[in-house]
Structure 1
């Protein structure tokens, strides 16, 4: 048996991972859970979309059917009324998670109809005190703040993507006979809906079958109650698998959660584990986040206290938003991209993209992601498939699926940059206790019905007449920072540091930016910068100062507006950091004396995503 390691271990590589655990929960959005978290793209987003009417997406449209007291709904704290709502909202429902209502909320890219086309509760959020375990896990390791649902739709299409890389939008690698064009709803009735879409069962090849073919060990872990959340069970080849066969034993029957805990303890887990939780612990409204937190802590404790902790990566994700809103307009493919765009089969929104959709909570627990970091790359459920592909390729196994839509493979992250393989850290953060879920007299989980029996109202009053100003949404945020990892994306204030110095705008009358000593909390407003992407999903940006809004111009000059701003290509190397390359091909650097330099040779900055009110 291997001993539990503590502190830093020897530097390694992707191939050092022996076990990957994929654990997917249900129906929560990023802003809804982590919008208040410091150091992430949340309620202090400096790049928030402002629509042509001059209103930021913080201002969700309302109509007379909702209220005549205001013209907008701003993000609001679900438990602002206190009292019994601190417990009652644990079993509340927000809105609808289906294709139609979520595309309607997106409103053609304006993203301003969450209140009118879903519900006003969709725009509500929790804070740390409501979901302390989820916050602590995300803070203890690495949270991803640009991880998106794969489909702007409900559970099944998203979990099908998680298990296979596609939902068979026209132009995908699949044929129509393998599951219809496309699979965008929770249909589990044999046959197809009108016009041949949402066919069931699906029959294209899943990643689990590829792992089986290549001799890679894997298993579903689930109990008898799995909330019908095992996506392999929706494929005909698993339904038809002979009793006792690998597909039946590993993919349909699976092994219990108790078996997972035992196998994690004694280092006998398969290479790939899929965790499917029970209904009441899934976090799917009205099932309580605090009950899901208990399951999450059980999984995290099993992995981190197990004999193979130093060799294990646990990826925790959610399948879709569950009718909760998120302010970031989905990063998606260009109009007409094969395998991505389709005519809405329901005839509601016309020609549209299937996804990726809105952001979800996402975090990675491993010795290589320890330390309260934020991973900023565009990612979706395909990213988990690609991570496993790269990991097993490093171990000499070819498990690359041919079923993934090409645009996703080219534009979604493989997650590898979230990991710092040169500096593993097996130490453990202190996690809050998670109260055990309520059970009935028969020992069956019944937290949602018990909660609903205690409170006549689980939905708080929408604060139309007492809400914050859209200009004050950033006041909802916690204060602090996170070290950044991954390809740069918008949505945060950034401090760039090198050799103990940070890029600095001292403000007027200075006409150039310089470098000054960095602070331990990365909190100096003169050292805060905002990047503005020139191409959605690209690596070229203009850069402005949080101090006074001035942009970096030519050389080291600062100018009053974006006209004439110099563009910077920002690249990330996992073992080194961020390189800031100017239009002339040269790189920003800071020497050991704190002098700003421009060199032909590349040098790398550490970067911190910071959230401070001043």
Structure 2
């Protein structure tokens, strides 16, 4: 009987399209192989459930990142219908896949041609029409990407449940102080020799509005590498700006928080290059900036380390050319074009020159009647932001959409963050209220830091990695890595990321490229850029683990109201001008010598469920079956399990993981209560030398397995007792931030 997955696809692998329709029809009509399935089965027909003798087989629908879903296709003697067990609506994507892999077989079994007119599918609860594959809508789902400009700790350092100012793994520098303590020289202030992060609007009043159009430090290569200070990361005030160490709270950027916390926020997403706008947008669209040793050669332009839009090259401190413009390697949209993937850059004429395709020789020389031109660099009614809103509403977005907003709404300083929040709200609401939302992923990210600091030392490649390391062209910091750089805000809006999660994997702009490759692969397209460095491809996240494709949530949150950006009488955006005129002194006073950790390193109370492989930087609660791993206190030499709480706030249940390597999945685990480590079996020990190493693995939809050195796993039985077992079990894990 064909109830087994391997029988369903035979020896053809996991691609159902490799199994010929005739072969599927033959199997479906084979009495001997399907006799056991020829039983009355309730199949919804015409909106009513009826019992009809059916023949059925299982087929694999290529959905859900690396996963694929098995569904039953039912062969009916008289009625062409199909049913999926499960009380939920079918998405347009699933319906289309069923039309490809089920209906042709049904028709073939009945002696037809393999095609059916006006096919319809029914779920348990309701019916949906199959989308017309001939329409210009992506019949297999779509992905939209918006790249804003700058900021990280400044935005989300106080957010609940993320790696922010409550980071238990913050680097301790040789002076014994954490990276939060930035060095200050007497010329800056005689009152102190350090500066902690500070709330920009602490003074209130005037500055609540003034700081919206302030400028902090510089976003270019030299001051950012100087702030890194050889990995100590403690020279932001000295080498960039003292305001670089300031931050906002939720009340200052409520829309950003609402979007990020309503879906999934990534707290380890980094800029592609530790520099400014153009290098990072070029990475976003091509996967590289042509650092020596990569996949390009010197004649193709670059290495792109700073903004340079003048033809020709700059000369570095070693007398070598760099920042050579324009660029001549293949962009990611060209790979889409070659593969027949539909794509579009949506933008208006006031795009701040933020469409990086115009920096490439090919696009500069395109004729206006070509597909690449019209989809990539044109300005017309078909690719405006209004066109994006209309396409999203109608469910006619292409497979891949790039959104390039107006400069005044980009949040690039001194443009106001609240104006950028307004734009993000328009885009999010267009997508989630559109007809295609059930099949759509929207990613919102930022290109670079904008001169704002970040306390996390960038995750990067080993010295000498081809295409990653370069001699500093300005002769200041020696041989250094080009990126990935400091962290940026990044959040993913989709039914599969809904619900307030934090994604913890190392990621950068290349991750978006690789996710699209994975997404398209599941839809039958073979698209892989050959321009990305090997290290990025093998070490940066593909973002797939941010999604739970088995448990979509189609609910839509209500986002906060926010005022529309100011415009003139003709509707032109005014940008930061009115703010700067009304508030001529935008930068707030620095709290020199007035700070304490308790007043500076603050986070909102709360939690987020964790997704993706673990990295350091959070207090974690591990729960299973209504219980949580617990440190009973100093009187006990073993850890136990106690009842979990709804808010996951109990300090006895908080743990901290300590990575053995920067990019591995092996950790020691300590208690937030008293710093003791988990030792052998279920013991608690006073020092990390006696700690047991745990291998922590993640399974989407299930959680985290904690595997001991001997290969066994931690678990909690139904009576709330910690056990060691050979059977893998998964803990639901929460990242928590509480002040007590």
What TM-score results when the alignment is normalised by the length of structure 1?
Answer: 0.97
- Write the deviation string for residues 164-198 of structure 1: whole angstroms up to 9, x where unpaired: 11111111101111114x11111111111112211
Query: Which residue number in structure 1 is paired with residue 715 of structure 2?
Result: 589
Q: Say whether the 8 Å CA contact 1:375–1:485 is kept in structure 2.
A: yes
Query: Which residue number in structure 2 is paired with residue 213 of structure 1?
Result: 338
Return the match for 2:441 from 301, 310, 313. Answer: 313
**Cα distance, 1:536–1:339 mapped onto 2, change above 3 Å:** same
Q: Say whether the 8 Å CA contact 1:570–1:581 is kept in structure 2.
A: yes
Distance in 2 between the 1:323 and 1:40 partners? 21
Query: Which residue number in structure 1 is paired with residue 374 of structure 2?
Result: 249
Distance in 1 between the 2:435 and 2:92 partners? 18
Q: Say whether the 8 Å CA contact 2:705–2:730 is kept in structure 1.
A: yes
Return the match for 2:144 from 13, 18, 21. Answer: 21
Distance in 1 between the 2:634 and 2:313 partners? 66
| Structure 1 counterpart SS, 2:620 | strand
Q: Say whether the 8 Å CA contact 2:261–2:501 is kept in structure 1.
A: yes
Query: Which residue number in structure 2 is paired with residue 612 of structure 1?
Result: 738
Distance in 2 between the 1:236 and 1:129 partners? 44
Query: Which residue number in structure 2 is paired with residue 264 of structure 1?
Result: 392
Distance in 2 between the 1:8 and 1:137 partners? 25
Return the match for 2:364 from 225, 239, 253. Answer: 239
Query: Which residue number in structure 2 is paired with residue 345 of structure 1?
Result: 473
**Cα distance, 1:104–1:9 mapped onto 2, change above 3 Å:** farther
Query: Which residue number in structure 2 is paired with residue 228 of structure 1?
Result: 353
1:68-467 pair list within 5 angstroms? 68-180=190-302, 182-194=303-315, 195-253=320-378, 255-467=383-595
Distance in 2 between the 1:76 and 1:339 partners? 37
Return the match for 2:618 from 492, 504, 514. Answer: 492
Distance in 2 between the 1:172 and 1:40 partners? 34
- The alpha carbon displacement at 1:12 in A equals 11
- Write the deviation string for residues 52-89 of structure 1: whole angstroms up to 9, x where unpaired: 11011111011122111111100000000100110010
**Cα distance, 1:473–1:580 mapped onto 2, change above 3 Å:** farther
Distance in 1 between the 2:599 and 2:593 partners? 15
Distance in 2 between the 1:62 and 1:13 partners? 56
| Structure 2 counterpart SS, 1:508 | coil
- Write the deviation string for residues 516-548 of structure 1: whole angstroms up to 9, x where unpaired: 111011111111000000101111000000111
- The alpha carbon displacement at 1:11 in A equals 9.2
Return the match for 2:645 from 519, 535, 542. Answer: 519
**Cα distance, 1:538–1:471 mapped onto 2, change above 3 Å:** farther
**Cα distance, 1:165–1:140 mapped onto 2, change above 3 Å:** same
Q: Say whether the 8 Å CA contact 1:267–1:306 is kept in structure 2.
A: yes
Distance in 2 between the 1:168 and 1:553 partners? 47
Q: Give the root-mean-square deviation of aligned CA atoms.
A: 1.4
**Cα distance, 1:92–1:604 mapped onto 2, change above 3 Å:** same
- Write the deviation string for residues 220-254 of structure 1: whole angstroms up to 9, x where unpaired: 00001000000111111111111110111111115
Give yes or no for the alignment of 1:45 onto 2:167. yes
Query: Which residue number in structure 2 is paired with residue 3 of structure 1?
Result: none
Distance in 2 between the 1:276 and 1:225 partners? 10
Q: Say whether the 8 Å CA contact 1:94–1:121 is kept in structure 2.
A: yes
- Write the deviation string for residues 75-123 of structure 1: whole angstroms up to 9, x where unpaired: 0000001001100100000000000000000000000000000000000
Query: Which residue number in structure 1 is paired with residue 20 of structure 2?
Result: none
Bigger Rg, structure 1 or 2: 2
Query: Which residue number in structure 2 is paired with residue 4 of structure 1?
Result: none
Runs (5+) with no aligned partner, structure 1: 1-6
Query: Which residue number in structure 2 is paired with residue 539 of structure 1?
Result: 665
| Structure 2 counterpart SS, 1:563 | helix
> Runs of at least 4 residues of structure 1 off by over 4 A?
7-17
- The alpha carbon displacement at 1:434 in A equals 1.6
Distance in 2 between the 1:102 and 1:140 partners? 32
- Write the deviation string for residues 288-345 of structure 1: whole angstroms up to 9, x where unpaired: 0000011000000100000001110000000000000000000000111111111111
Distance in 2 between the 1:608 and 1:456 partners? 44
Distance in 2 between the 1:420 and 1:128 partners? 27
| Structure 2 counterpart SS, 1:129 | helix
Distance in 2 between the 1:396 and 1:158 partners? 29
Q: Say whether the 8 Å CA contact 1:8–1:425 is kept in structure 2.
A: no
Q: Say whether the 8 Å CA contact 1:11–1:421 is kept in structure 2.
A: no
Deviates more, 1:7-16 or 1:371-380: 7-16
- The alpha carbon displacement at 1:465 in A equals 3.3
Distance in 2 between the 1:526 and 1:329 partners? 29
- The alpha carbon displacement at 1:9 in A equals 5.1
Distance in 1 between the 2:262 and 2:660 partners? 33
Distance in 1 between the 2:157 and 2:627 partners? 29
Q: Say whether the 8 Å CA contact 1:10–1:423 is kept in structure 2.
A: no
- Write the deviation string for residues 548-606 of structure 1: whole angstroms up to 9, x where unpaired: 11000111100011111100010101121101011111111111111111111211110
What TM-score results when the alignment is normalised by the length of structure 2?
Answer: 0.80
| Structure 1 counterpart SS, 2:250 | coil
Distance in 1 between the 2:571 and 2:367 partners? 33
| Structure 1 counterpart SS, 2:296 | coil
**Cα distance, 1:471–1:199 mapped onto 2, change above 3 Å:** same
- Write the deviation string for residues 14-57 of structure 1: whole angstroms up to 9, x where unpaired: 999601000000012x2100000000000000000010110111
- Write the deviation string for residues 427-464 of structure 1: whole angstroms up to 9, x where unpaired: 01121012100112332111301100101210001111
Distance in 1 between the 2:492 and 2:148 partners? 14
Distance in 1 between the 2:397 and 2:412 partners? 27
**Cα distance, 1:47–1:11 mapped onto 2, change above 3 Å:** farther
Relative contact order (C-alpha < 8 Å, sep 6+): which is higher?
A: 1
Distance in 1 between the 2:469 and 2:140 partners? 36
Distance in 2 between the 1:261 and 1:471 partners? 45
